[in-house]
């Protein structure tokens, strides 16, 4: 795979070329995903649930993210690698700079933070230090106690307008990418069209520039209730490699997510 950087992704946005992304947490799967053609990998704090067995992302630490970022980078040296800044690791500027430097030095190209206008000053400071930042709005798992559960966001006109305002504020502050989670497809379409930077969706319809799924969801190995926006690509494709290629193809062609997997 040719080395992927932020300019690559921005160029795809400009040309309306959709791209697929996936979470990964270790060397073996990262290598498999890169070899299959995945251009963007996220070392997500979802590892709190998928790897550590917690019921939320909140217990994940910076050291956890550092460890898994190093492993993923070794397996996938050419992908664009995003790593989450975990819960309460970036709410004060000096703390954000310290923790971000550790994660970037572990191999990430970009860090992802959850929140809206309250993070504008953090985004500006990180950007001033030439750190690539990805925003994350809509359903933000680190705020799960405040949100009272995993619920679709932006269903009302007031809620939708707030999310649009947050997206615009974060872009103005300096984010170079945005993740939209669990919002109505019509809202993600508006945001994707208004922002000049790449927008990645998860449970946000198929109008975004890219899509991301948690690898365990994509491979159908998540226990318990299946989320509406997930799809088991392994079910009819025979092997993990074929499942990933089917996912990439479906995203590029705008086939996934369809109406059944959207809000």
Place of tokens 């990418």: 177
Place of tokens 């800044």: 85
Residue 94: pLDDT above 60?
yes
Instruction: Tell me the two tokens of residue 33.
Output: 């995903």
pLDDT for 23-59, tens place per residue?
A: 999 999 999 999 999 999 999 999 999 999 999 999 9
Instruction: Please give the pLDDT value at position 142.
Output: 83
Q: What's the rounded Cα separation, in Å, for the pair 133 and 124? A: 9
Cβ 180 vs Cβ 263: under 8 Å: no
Residue 227: pLDDT above 90?
no
Instruction: Tell me the two tokens of residue 119.
Output: 């993070």
| 133-138 vs 110-114, strand pairing mode | parallel
Sign for the CA dihedral angle at 54, 60, 4, 167 comes to: positive
pLDDT exceeding 90 applies to what percent of the chain? 89
Q: What's the rounded Cα separation, in Å, for the pair 246 and 244? A: 5
Mean pLDDT (whole number) for 208-236: 92
How sure is the predictor about 146, in pLDDT bands with cuts at 50, 70 and 90?
A: low
Mean pLDDT (whole number) for 173-181: 98
Cβ 84 vs Cβ 48: under 8 Å: no
Which is more confidently placed, 179 or 91?
179
Which is more confidently placed, 14 or 145?
14
Report the catalytic residues.
Answer: 181
Domain ranges of the chain: 6-261
Instruction: Please give the pLDDT value at position 144.
Output: 66
Specify whether domain 6-261 bears CATH 3.20.20.60.
yes
CA 219 to chain centre: 17
How sure is the predictor about 148, in pLDDT bands with cuts at 50, 70 and 90?
A: low
Residue 150: pLDDT above 70?
no
- Mean per-residue pLDDT of the chain: 95
pLDDT exceeding 70 applies to what percent of the chain? 97
How sure is the predictor about 243, in pLDDT bands with cuts at 50, 70 and 90?
A: very high
Residue 143: pLDDT above 80?
no
How sure is the predictor about 226, in pLDDT bands with cuts at 50, 70 and 90?
A: confident
Place of tokens 């089917």: 246
pTM over 0.85: yes
The 3-class secondary structure across the chain, one letter per residue, is: CCCCCHHHHHHHHHHCCCEEEEECCCHHHHHHHHHHCCCEEEECCCHHHHCCCCCCCCCCCHHHHHHHHHHHHHHCCCCEEEEECCCCCCCCHHHHHHHHHHHHHCCCCEEEEECCHHHHHHHHHHHHCCCCEEEEEECCHHHHHHHCCCCCCCCCHHHHHHHHHHHHHHHHHCCCEEEEECCCHHHHHHHHHHCCCCEEEECCCCCCCEEEECHHHHCCCCCCCCCCCCCCCCCCCCCHHHHHHHHHHHHHCCCCCCHHHCC
Residue 172: pLDDT above 70?
yes
Report the 10 Å Cβ neighbour count for 31: 16
pLDDT for 113-139, tens place per residue?
A: 999 999 999 999 999 999 999 999 999
């Amino acid at each position: 795979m040719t080395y992927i950087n932020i300019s690559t992704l921005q160029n795809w946005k400009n040309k309306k070329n959709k791209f697929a992304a996936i979470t990964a947490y270790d060397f073996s799967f990262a290598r498999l995903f890169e070899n299959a053609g995945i251009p963007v990998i996220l070392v997500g704090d979802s590892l709190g649930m998928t790897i550590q067995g917690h019921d939320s992302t909140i217990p994940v630490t910076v050291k956890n993210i550092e460890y898994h970022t190093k492993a993923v980078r070794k397996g996938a040296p050419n992908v664009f690698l995003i790593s989450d800044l975990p819960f309460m690791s970036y709410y004060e500027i000096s703390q954000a700079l310290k923790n971000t430097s550790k994660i970037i030095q572990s191999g990430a190209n970009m860090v992802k933070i959850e929140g809206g206008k309250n993070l504008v000053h953090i985004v500006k400071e990180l950007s001033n230090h030439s750190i690539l930042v990805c925003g994350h709005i809509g359903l933000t798992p680190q705020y799960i106690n405040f949100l009272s559960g995993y619920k679709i966001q932006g269903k009302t006109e007031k809620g939708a307008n707030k999310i649009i305002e947050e997206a615009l504020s974060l872009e103005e502050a300096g984010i170079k990418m945005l993740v939209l989670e669990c919002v109505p497809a019509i809202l993600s379409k508006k945001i994707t069209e208004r922002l000049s930077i790449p927008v990645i969706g998860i449970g946000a319809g198929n109008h975004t520039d890219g899509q991301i799924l948690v690898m365990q969801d994509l491979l159908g190995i998540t226990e318990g209730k299946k989320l509406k926006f997930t799809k088991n690509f392994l079910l009819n494709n025979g092997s993990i490699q074929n499942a990933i290629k089917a996912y990439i193809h479906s995203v590029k062609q705008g086939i996934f997510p369809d109406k059944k997997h959207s809000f």
